[in-house]
Amino acid sequence: MIASRVWRSASVWLVYVVGFVPAAWYFYLGATGQIPGNAVKVFEHLLGVWALRFLLVTLAVTPIRDLFGINLIRYRRALGLLAFWYVVMHFSTYMILDQALNFQVIVNDIAKRPFITIGMASFALLIPLAITSNSWSIRKLGSRWNSLHKLSYVIILGGALHYLMAVRVITPEPAIYMAIAAVLVGYRLFFRSRVLAWRKQRRAVAMAR
């Protein structure tokens, strides 16, 4: 009993540790000259892709519980915060390593280039979610917390669109991220209430027997 509780809280920390492995690994490869070509761009891109992956997994927690009965809710905060930190690293790499803190260029990019504007807006929306990801905020905000965190659906669509618009040609990878994001948001908007109603009905029928 105690062992399983220890494992539960330890496994959350394990998610954080494992989650930061890609960033650490690619940083190591870059710093030791093992990423050929434009190492900074490659690193920047990988951080962005991992941010999207963590966002998608975060948003998949609810449908996985609804549809398959697998409850991963205790990992959701860690997954969401990992996404946030990857976005922070992605943006920092762009600002510091790629553009060498040339703020004129950075501000110009954000204002003038739609894919960067969209990426930046998604990042900005992610900040209040990260700040309110602690238990105190959840208690304090009550049902408003749920409303606020629905922003994650706007953020994932913005993030996937940012990727799709950044590439020179549409390849399977950004298209697949966009498709998964659309499915997750579509589930939330159109199908979840029906799935829950159907499950409730099934439970009621089972009880009546």
Q: Which residues bind another protein (CB under 8 A)?
A: 30-31, 33, 35-43, 97-100, 105, 108-109, 113, 115, 165-172, 175
Question: Rounded to the nearest whole angstrom, what is the least distance from the CB of residue 182 to another protein in the complex?
Answer: 18
| Cα 137 from Cα 174, distance rounded (Å) | 34
Q: Give whichever of 80 and 119 is closer to another protein, judged by the CB atom.
A: 119
Helix or strand (DSSP H, E) at 86: helix 76-92
SS (HEC) of 109-157: HHHHCHHHHHHHHHHHHHHHHHHCCCHHHHHHHCHHHHHHHCHHHHHHH
| Cα 78 from Cα 209, distance rounded (Å) | 41
Question: Rounded to the nearest whole angstrom, what is the least distance from the CB of residue 180 to another protein in the complex?
Answer: 16
Q: Give whichever of 104 and 143 is closer to another protein, judged by the CB atom.
A: 104
The conformation of residue 128, written as its DSSP 8-state character, comes to H
Q: Give whichever of 101 and 189 is closer to another protein, judged by the CB atom.
A: 101
- Residue matched to tokens 């915060």: 81
Question: Rounded to the nearest whole angstrom, what is the least distance from the CB of residue 25 to another protein in the complex?
Answer: 14
Q: Give whichever of 42 and 64 is closer to another protein, judged by the CB atom.
A: 42
Question: Rounded to the nearest whole angstrom, what is the least distance from the CB of residue 115 to another protein in the complex?
Answer: 6
